[in-house]
Amino acid sequence: MKDLFDIGIVWNKVHQVISAKQDEQLDAWINKSSRNKDYYHKLFYFFKSGSTYNDDEINVEKAKKKVAYRIFVVPKILRVGRVAAFFIGIVAAGFLLSKVVQFESVAKKNVRIGPGKTKATLILSDGSKHNLGESYNVELKENGTIISNSGSELSYEKEKSTTSYQSKSRKIKYNTLNIPRGGEFFLSLSDGTKVWLNSETILTYPLQFGEHERVVELIGEAYFEVKHNSEKPFRVKINGQIIEVLGTSFNISSYPDESESKTTLVNGSVRIRINESDENVALEPGYQCVVNRFGHNYSIEEVSLRKVTAWKDGNYIFEEETLETMISVLSRWYDFTYLFKTNEARNLKFSGKLKRTDKFEDILTIIERTNEVKIKVDEKNVIIY
C-alpha cells in the first residue's frame, strides 16, 4: 500500500537521513510488488529533483513542486501547547496518490506581492540622487573618487591621477546608500571592504576614509567583510553602539522598528561599545551580542551562523520562530504590510528554509496548509486570522 508513512521513508532515503530500521522497512515494502517498486522510483526522482520526471497521472502545480519538498513546517500554538508537525513534501506526495491537486487558496487571490530584487538609491554629498539596479549602469566622479555601478554592485576607487597629498588635503565627503523594502545591494568601499545590504537599510560612508579610522553608520541589516588594516580600525555606528573591528566578517541587524540590535561575529574579532559609553563587549566567532534598544541591556549567546547569514546567500532559515517574526522578516523582502487578527496566529511557531526567490503565494499556501490560520491578501496588504 502506498501510504503516507512509506512516502516519508522515501523522502528520508533521498535526503540520507534514513535510519537502519526504516531502510529495512523500505526494502520490504519495495519487494512486496512490482507496483510498489515502480512507484518507489517515481517518488525517489520526484523528491530528488522536485519536478523533473513525467507522468500523466501525476500533476502537481509546478511552483508547488519547487518548494513543497524542501520546507519543514512545525506549527505550535503556545496558548495550549499543541504541536502538529508535518513535512509539506510528504503531504504533497499524499495529494499525488489521491490525485487531489487543489492548491488554490483564498490567500492567493489578488496577490500582487513578489520577491525583492537588486535596487537602491545612491545619495551623493551634494544631495543628488541616483537610482541603482540591474537596469541602471552608472559611473560618477566625486571628490577624486570614481563611483561605478555594474547593475548589482556599487564600487569606489580613487582616481589614479589623485596624489597622496591631494587625498589628505581634501575634506571627507559622505555618500548614503538607501535600500528600500523589497531590495538588496552589494557595496565595495574604497578600502576594499565588502558590504551586503538587506532590505530597508541605510548605510552612510565616506568616499575615501581618513588617515586614522574608517567609520560608517548603519540603519537596518548588513553583512560586512572588512579589509584588514591594523593602523585604521573599522567602526560601525548603530543606535548608540559602536562596533570596532580590524579585519573581520560579521552581521549587524538594527532596524528602528525592532526592540533589539544584533551583532553576530562570523570570524575575526569585534569589540562593541554599548550606548557610546566606556563599556566594551568582546565577541567570539559564532556568538551574537543582543542589545535592548531602550534599556541598553545586553546579552551574549551562541547562534547558528548559517541561519543568521542565510539572507546574504539568498535564503531564509527559520527555527522555531513565531509566525509574527517570520512574517515581519518576509515583509521587508516581499514589500507588504500585515495585520494579525488573533494572538493565537501571532504565536504559531514555524521552522523551515525558504529561498528568497520563492513566490509569495507559495509561501502563503504552505502556511495555510497547517489549517491553523487563514490568510487574506488584498494587493500588498496581508491579513492573518
- 7 within some domain: no
User: Stretch 341-357: mean pLDDT, rounded?
Assistant: 90
- 229 within some domain: yes
- 195 within some domain: yes
pTM above 0.75, yes or no: no
- 88 within some domain: no
Decide: residue 92, CB within 10 A, 0-12 exposed, 13-18 middle, 19+ buried. buried
Q: Please tell me the chain's helix, strand, coil percentages from 3-state DSSP, rounded to the nearest 5.
A: 25, 35, 35
- 37 within some domain: no
What gap in Å lies between CA 90 and CA 92, rounded to an integer?
Answer: 5
Q: Do 149 and 188 form a contact (C-beta atoms < 8 A)? A: no
What residue numbers bound the domain in which 186 lies? Answer: 117-308
Query: What pLDDT was estimated at residue 2?
Result: 41
User: How many CB atoms neighbour CB 9 within 10 A?
Assistant: 21
Query: What pLDDT was estimated at residue 19?
Result: 73
What gap in Å lies between CA 94 and CA 44, rounded to an integer?
Answer: 14
CA atoms within 13 A on the CB side of 83: 8
Query: What pLDDT was estimated at residue 46?
Result: 59
Pairing of strands 201-206, 194-197: unpaired
Which domain CATH number covers 127? 2.60.120.1440
**Looking at the 3D structure of the chain, how many domains does it have?**
1
CA atoms within 13 A on the CB side of 318: 26
Decide: residue 293, CB within 10 A, 0-12 exposed, 13-18 middle, 19+ buried. middle
* 222 pLDDT above the threshold of 70: yes
Long-range contacts of 28-34 (CB under 8 A, 24+ apart): none
**566578517: which residue's cell?**
249
- 164 within some domain: yes
Question: Can you tell me whether residue 58 is helix, strand or coil?
Answer: coil
- 78 within some domain: no
- 296 within some domain: yes
Q: What one-character DSSP code corresponds to residue 225?
A: E
Which three three-digit cell numbers place residue 76?
A: 505550535
Least confident of 37-41, 362-366, 380-384: 37-41
User: Stretch 312-321: mean pLDDT, rounded?
Assistant: 93
Q: Under the phi-then-psi rule, with left for phi > 0, alpha for psi from -120 to 50, and beta for the rest, what region is 360?
A: alpha
Query: What pLDDT was estimated at residue 68?
Result: 37
Q: What is the pLDDT of residues 49-96, one digit of tens each?
A: 543 333 333 333 433 333 333 343 443 333 333 333 333 333 333 434
